[in-house]
Structure 1
């Protein structure tokens, strides 16, 4: 895939003129601590909002991804209030270029087909943010890397929750921060994506706005 790119001086990040920001599963159901348990990175929502604003201000596409759970009792089921986007995403949704609905971890298995849309738009670079870091964000980034996209993941624009291998006090458990660190190692160490910060992306995008939008 080929894209027109520009470079932010001193940052070392190339931002394509049509780089697509994927905002994954930023839904109200993730605000239920009784369902999910302890989370990390309380700045995630602020950073996601800043990226959405920057991408829209500079004429780059924002893709919203929404999880429609098929699991009984899930707070992300389409018939539950938690299915809705968080307010700050809903307020910016009018500027989104695409809205994908999915029921699995990867955003590439949803409706409409994300890869088809990216191909039609000539997009070769993706910035992947959202919830959960080690679940849908990591899975989407891995698959995007396998499909040949250049993938940037601002880890500070994601968050996740503590997770145990199975119920019970003796089950192996990792904290949300440990899981986020594992995701960073998996993605960059495995060659799927580059781990960056929100600040780096904001600087790069605003110094080099898209000349014509999408």
Structure 2
């Protein structure tokens, strides 16, 4: 795995509201530790970091604007601005981080990271790494849209988590089942490469 010097880490919706009982049972208790490790690795290397915050318009949501749950978790908030590379905060009210303010796609393209190889041969795809909450919701949606927009997407499954969910017809799925289904869909469908935190840290070092 090769991680380019301008590969962007996108930290999606790591907010205090996700700690509330509203959501139910979660998976992957190591998610926060791995997210922090990737932020530290990216900031230490001078690579770009995008922090994303969900400003819910739902008056019942723990992520609604003005509610304490809207705030980024402390371990993320205290890392903002600590890197030597470019950083930005994107706010959104839908699943995809590409539909927020400022425009994420424009910001990424503005880094000049599309990376043509000196004009000889094919241009290299710009890389993004997606971490955060929730695996099968905003993370998956952002990954799918990133793939459609032409980005090379890395999806470290151990640096994110989700919650058990009830669907149609009385069907239910556990958080682990949902995470596995997301991983299979994204990787098998070639929207993203599903990887581990350890692989990314080793490649970005």
Q: TM-score higher than 0.5 here?
A: yes
Whether 1:91 aligns to 2:78 is yes
Runs of 4+ in structure 1 over 4 Å off: none
- Normalising by the residue count of structure 2, what TM-score does the alignment of the two structures yield? 0.91
Q: Deviations over 1:8-44 (max 9, x none)?
A: xxxxx11011000000000000001x20000000000
Match of 1:102 among 92, 97, 100: 92
Contact 1:24/1:66 (<8 A) preserved: yes
Q: What residue is the counterpart of 2:141 in the other structure? A: 139
Q: What residue is the counterpart of 2:118 in the other structure? A: none
CA distance in 2, matches of 1:121, 1:132: 27
Whether 1:17 aligns to 2:5 is yes
Q: Deviations over 1:44-78 (max 9, x none)?
A: 00000000000000110110000000112110001
Q: What residue is the counterpart of 1:121 in the other structure? A: 111
- Normalising by the residue count of structure 1, what TM-score does the alignment of the two structures yield? 0.87
Mean CA deviation greater in 88-97 or 114-123: 88-97
Unaligned runs of 5+ in 2: 114-125
Query: What is the Cα deviation at residue 142 of structure 1?
Result: 0.3
Query: What is the Cα deviation at residue 91 of structure 1?
Result: 0.7
Highest RCO, 1 vs 2 (Cα 8 Å, sep ≥ 6): 1
Match of 2:132 among 121, 130, 133: 130
CA distance in 2, matches of 1:37, 1:198: 25
CA distance in 1, matches of 2:12, 2:61: 17
Q: What residue is the counterpart of 2:22 in the other structure? A: 35
CA distance in 1, matches of 2:192, 2:60: 33
Q: What residue is the counterpart of 2:48 in the other structure? A: 61
Q: Deviations over 1:117-137 (max 9, x none)?
A: 011102310000000000000
CA distance in 1, matches of 2:181, 2:60: 29
- SS of equivalent to 1:15: coil
Q: What residue is the counterpart of 2:193 in the other structure? A: 194
